[in-house]
C-alpha cells in the first residue's frame, strides 16, 4: 500500500507545514540513500520518522530541545548535538546525506557545505531542499498589495514573512550550483516544486494554524483529534496540492541531488 505522506503529516502537525513536508517526503522514495546516512539539521525528527522506513544512522542538530524529541521518536541510531560547520565524524564516514528545508536558515553556508563534503565518501549523494528565488515574489498578500500599487507595504510584508520563516537564503539554482561546486560537490539534478497556489495555502495557514499553536503549548500536541472526520476540511484544502504534479516551473522551492566529487 502506497504511503500517504499527507495524512501522516497533517494528522500530527499544522497543515501549512504538513503539506510542504508531505510533498517533499515523496521525493525521497526515488533516492538511493545507502548507510550510513547523515540527516543534517534533523530537528525533532518528525520528518524522518514519517518519511523513512528505516532508522537513519545519525541525526545532527545544534538545538537541545528538538534533539531530545528526536531521540524519543527513535528514528535515528544516534543523535548528535553539533553545529553543521563542525560535524564530529572522520573524513568520508557517511555514504549519503540529507538536509530537509534547513540550509536556508544558516547565515554562513560555505563552512557547512564544506564540512558535509568532508564527511561524505567520494561519489556519495547529498539530497536537500530549500525555498528559492521565486518564494518572495509569489507571496499572495504581497502580490495583492503590489496590484494595488502599495509596493512599499508589499516589500515590508515580504521582509516580515522571511523573518518569521527565518529565511537567510532564497537563491536560484545558478547561485546554489556555484556554491556547491566550491564546496566540492557536483549537481546531479534539481527541480522546482510547490506551486504559487500551494504557497498561498502555506502562507495563510500561518494565521489559521494559531489554534494548533495554542494546543501545542497546552498539551504538547499540535493536533488534538487526529481523525479523518476532524480533518475533512484540512484534507480538502491540502490534498489537491499534494496530488498535483510534483514539479512546477514556478515552484517556490527547489530540490537538489548532488554528489561529492571524487
Cis amide prior to 222 (ω within 30 degrees): no
* 145-to-152, 196, 200 alpha-carbon distances in Å: 9, 16, 14
Same domain, 105 and 193: yes
Do 45 and 154 lie in one domain? The reply is no
Give the span between the Cα atoms of 38 and 97, in whole angstroms: 4
Range of the domain at 194: 5-132+168-260
Last residue of a domain, one of 167, 182, 214: 167
Whether residues 176 and 253 fall in one domain: yes
Could you identify the residue written with the cell 544512522? 57
What is the tally of structural domains in the chain? 2
Is residue 167 a contact partner of residue 104, using CB atoms and an 8 Å limit?
A: yes
Strand order in the sheet with 185-193: 76-81, 56-61, 37-40, 94-100, 120-131, 253-260, 185-193
| Residue 26 cell numbers, joined | 515523496
C-alpha to C-alpha distance for 189 and 125, rounded to whole angstroms? 11
| Same-domain status, 158 and 241 | no
Cα distance between residue 192 and residue 113, in whole Å: 21
Listed residues 167, 190, 218: the one ending a domain:
167
Is the separation of the CB atoms in 19 and 10 below 8 Å?
A: yes
For residues 149 and 162, state if they share a domain. Answer: yes
CB 240 within 8 A of CB 30: no
pLDDT tens, per residue, the chain with 262 residues: 689 999 999 998 888 889 999 999 999 999 999 999 999 999 999 999 999 999 999 999 999 999 999 999 999 999 999 999 999 999 999 999 999 999 999 999 999 999 999 999 999 999 999 999 999 999 999 999 999 999 999 999 999 999 999 999 999 999 999 999 999 999 999 999 999 999 999 999 876 666 665 566 667 765 767 788 888 999 999 999 999 989 999 999 999 999 999 8
Question: Measured between alpha carbons, how far is 44 from 59 in angstroms, rounded to an integer?
Answer: 9
CATH number at residue 12: 3.40.50.150
The answer on 211 and 184 residing in a single domain is yes
Residue 78 sits in the same domain as residue 179 = yes
| 160 and 201 both lie in a single domain | no
Same domain, 103 and 205: yes
Give the Cα separation of 245 and 262 in Å (integer).
34
Q: Is the pTM for the entire model greater than 0.75?
A: yes
Helix-, strand-, coil-residue percentages of the chain, each rounded to 5: 50, 20, 30
Same domain? For 73 and 203 the reply is yes
User: Residues 141, 184: one domain?
Assistant: no
CA–CA gap between residue 158 and residue 138 (Å, rounded): 10
Nearest Cα to Cα of residue 101 among 178, 195, 18, 161: 18
- Assess whether 17 and 94 both reside in one domain: yes
Question: pLDDT at position 224, please?
Answer: 67
Amino acid at each position: 500500500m502506497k504511503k500517504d505522506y499527507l495524512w501522516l503529516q497533517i494528522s500530527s502537525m499544522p497543515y501549512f507545514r504538513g503539506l510542504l513536508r508531505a510533498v517533499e517526503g515523496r521525493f525521497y522514495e526515488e533516492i538511493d540513500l545507502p548507510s550510513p546516512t547523515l540527516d543534517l539539521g534533523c530537528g525533532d525528527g518528525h520528518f524522518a520518522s514519517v518519511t523513512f522506513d528505516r532508522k537513519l544512522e545519525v541525526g545532527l542538530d545544534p538545538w537541545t530541545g528538538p534533539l531530545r524529541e528526536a531521540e524519543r521518536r527513535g528514528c535515528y541510531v544516534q543523535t548528535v548535538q553539533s553545529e553543521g560547520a563542525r560535524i564530529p565524524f572522520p573524513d568520508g564516514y557517511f555514504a549519503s546525506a540529507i538536509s530537509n528545508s534547513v540550509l536556508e536558515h544558516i547565515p554562513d553556508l560555505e563552512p557547512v557545505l564544506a564540512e558535509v563534503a568532508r564527511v561524505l565518501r567520494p561519489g556519495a549523494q547529498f539530497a536537500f531542499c530549500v525555498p528559492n528565488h521565486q518564494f518572495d515574489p509569489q507571496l499572495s498578500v504581497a502580490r495583492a498589495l503590489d496590484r494595488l500599487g502599495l509596493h512599499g507595504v508589499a516589500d515590508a510584508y515580504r521582509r516580515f514573512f522571511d523573518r518569521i520563516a527565518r529565511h537567510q537564503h532564497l537563491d536560484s539554482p545558478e547561485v546554489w550550483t556555484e556554491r556547491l561546486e566550491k564546496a566540492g560537490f557536483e549537481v546531479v539534478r534539481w527541480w522546482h516544486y510547490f506551486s504559487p497556489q500551494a504557497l498561498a495555502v502555506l502562507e495563510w495557514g500561518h494565521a489559521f494554524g494559531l489554534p494548533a499553536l495554542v494546543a501545542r503549548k497546552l498539551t504538547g500536541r499540535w493536533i488534538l483529534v487526529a481523525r479523518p472526520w476532524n480533518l475533512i476540511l484540512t484534507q480538502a484544502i491540502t490534498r489537491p496540492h499534494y496530488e498535483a504534479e510534483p514539479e512546477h516551473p514556478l515552484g517556490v522551492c527547489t530540490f537538489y541531488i548532488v554528489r561529492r566529487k571524487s
